[in-house]
A and B are shown apart, each in its own frame.
Chain A
Amino acid sequence: ETGVTQTPRHLVMGMTNKKSLKCEQHLGHNAMYWYKQSAKKPLELMFVYSLEERVENNSVPSRFSPECPNSSHLFLHLHTLQPEDSALYLCASSRERGMNTEAFFGQGTRLTVV
Chain B
Amino acid sequence: KQEVTQIPAALSVPEGENLVLNCSFTDSAIYNLQWFRQDPGKGLTSLLLIQSSQREQTSGRLNASLDKSSGRSTLYIAASQPGDSATYLCAPLNDYKLSFGAGTTVTVRA
Residues of A within 8 A of B (CB): 2, 4, 6, 40-43, 45, 48, 56, 88, 90, 92, 97-100, 102-108, 110
Contacts and interface: CB of A to CB of B under 8 A. Distances in A.
B102 interface: yes
Given A41-B102, A45-B98, A105-B36, A98 B45 contact: no
Interface of B: 4, 31-32, 34, 36, 41-46, 49, 51-52, 89, 91, 93, 95-103
Contact of B46 (A90, A102, A107, A110): A102
A97 to B, nearest CB: 5
A9 to B, nearest CB: 9
A63 to B, nearest CB: 23
A108 B31 contact: no
30 contacts: A2-B43, A2-B45, A2-B46, A40-B102, A42-B4, A42-B99, A42-B100, A43-B100, A48-B96, A48-B97, A88-B41, A90-B43, A97-B96, A98-B96, A98-B97, A99-B96, A100-B31, A100-B51, A102-B46, A102-B49, A103-B34, A103-B46, A103-B98, A105-B36, A105-B43, A105-B44, A106-B43, A107-B42, A107-B43, A108-B43
